[in-house]
């Protein structure tokens, strides 16, 4: 049996990262600036695009992509949807991924984890509550490592906030070396279906990495531009993600074996739900499902519950619970204190 936490963009909002809707708006505004005086973001992205192979021979194609993002990106449920709806236009994917990388890395640069002690800052978020639950019942680091073998994090975000916090919390609480803390983190099954900016320095075999919140924007130049291009190339579209059968099969297997599934800050976007529960993979599971419902209308809560019942099977004895509509991610760990115990 395993424990699955499915993390959406709303889960990083407390740390200072944009929600899905905010990210979409930021990218739209940046590409709108391409046609006008140009914000710092637009200037930086233009410099990156000029270094993309084939850019100069295809300026018309990229100009069309800028306009498409400016005029139509906000007419899709998310930036991921917009890329998927225009998957035949490679310039839209390249530009959108650069926009995602720019604003997510900027979010890390300006996050509370960059401007205050990470363990103190974590107490203002759900991350500290989560870590408390993870080490609950563990008498020593060996117990904790055994528990981590049962944990899967399916993170739909591109940022590395949660991994960054957990690494530092584990290292500090158990007084571990960086190498040992890295080894413990490797026990956790961490899946980023849409990729992430980059590996972190402590990750195993991380020869190519960006530090958390690395400010590549301070001293602009080719090195900075290449770093952002590299980060953008780590981001996957829906089609690219579903084509990786090893990833989708692993997600299917983990959910099928789960004792507990928890959605945190998740928007239940159809693309994301299709990735978790594809038509080709019938998932049989038992145990509880809990989802955060912050700022969610009552009718939408009922719809999500019905959708989860349909996806998981009506007769499998799986109970579904939602947090109160005014409860933030952090509040879930008080509201469902007993149910979130991973014993």
Classify residue 325 by burial, with Cβ atoms within 10 Å: 0-12, 13-18, 19+.
middle
* Alpha helices, DSSP H, located in 18-155: 20-33, 40-49, 59-72, 79-85, 90-109, 112-115, 118-122, 126-135, 141-148
Residues whose CB falls within 8 Å of the CB of residue 246, separated by 6 or more in sequence, listed in order: none
CATH number of 1-17+118-204+244-343: 3.40.50
Those residues whose C-beta lies under 8 Å from the C-beta of residue 317, and which sit 6 or more positions away, are 286
Band (26; pLDDT cuts 50, 70, 90): very high
pLDDT in tens, 33-58: 887 766 788 899 999 999 999 999 99
Beta bridge partners of 261: 4, 289
pLDDT digits 0-9 by tens, 290-324 = 999 998 999 999 999 888 888 776 555 568 888 88
Cα angle 160-247-146, degrees, rounded to a multiple of 5 = 65
Does 284 score more than 70 pLDDT?
no
Q: How far apart are CA 155 and CA 157, in angstroms?
A: 5
Kindly state the tokens that stand for 234.
């780590």
Query: What span, in angstroms and rounded, lies between the C-alpha atoms of 17 and 32?
Result: 21
Residue ranges of the domains in the chain? 1-17+118-204+244-343, 20-110
* Banded model confidence at residue 113, pLDDT cuts 50, 70, 90: very high
Q: In what order do the strands lie in the sheet with 258-264?
A: 189-191, 151-155, 2-7, 258-264, 288-291, 320-322
Note the pTM of the prediction, 2 decimals. Answer: 0.93
Residue 247 is given by DSSP the state H
pLDDT confidence band for 279 (50 / 70 / 90) = low
């Amino acid at each position: 049996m395993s424990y699955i936490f499915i993390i959406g963009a709303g889960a990083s909002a407390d740390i200072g990262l944009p929600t899905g809707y905010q990210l979409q708006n930021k990218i739209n505004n940046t590409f709108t600036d391409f046609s006008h005086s140009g914000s710092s973001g637009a200037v930086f992205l233009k410099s990156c695009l000029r270094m993309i192979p084939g850019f100069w021979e295809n300026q018309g194609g990229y100009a069309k992509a800028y306009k498409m993002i400016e005029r139509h990106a906000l007419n899709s449920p998310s930036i991921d949807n917009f890329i998927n709806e225009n998957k035949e236009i490679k310039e839209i994917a390249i530009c959108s991924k650069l926009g995602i990388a720019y604003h997510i890395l900027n979010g890390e640069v300006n996050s509370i984890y960059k401007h205050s002690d990470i363990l103190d800052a974590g107490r203002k978020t759900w991350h500290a509550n989560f870590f408390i639950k993870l080490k609950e019942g563990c008498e020593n680091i060996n117990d904790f490592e055994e528990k981590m073998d049962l944990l899967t994090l399916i993170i739909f975000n591109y940022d590395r906030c949660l991994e960054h916090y957990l690494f530092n919390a584990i290292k500090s609480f158990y007084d571990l070396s960086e190498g040992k803390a890295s080894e413990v983190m490797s026990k956790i099954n961490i899946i980023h279906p849409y990729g992430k900016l980059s590996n972190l320095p402590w990750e195993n075999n991380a020869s190519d990495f960006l530090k958390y919140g690395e400010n590549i924007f301070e001293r602009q130049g080719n090195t900075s531009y290449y770093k952002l291009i590299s980060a953008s190339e780590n981001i996957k579209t829906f089609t690219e993600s579903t084509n990786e059968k090893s990833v989708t099969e692993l997600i299917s297997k983990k959910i099928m074996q789960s004792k507990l599934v928890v959605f945190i800050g998740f928007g239940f976007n159809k693309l994301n739900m299709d990735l978790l529960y594809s038509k080709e993979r019938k998932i049989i599971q038992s145990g509880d499902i809990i989802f955060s419902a912050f700022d969610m209308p009552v009718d939408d809560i009922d719809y999500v519950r019905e959708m989860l019942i349909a996806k998981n099977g009506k007769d499998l004895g799986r109970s579904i619970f939602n947090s109160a509509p005014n409860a933030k991610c952090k509040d879930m760990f008080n509201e469902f204190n007993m149910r979130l115990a991973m014993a």
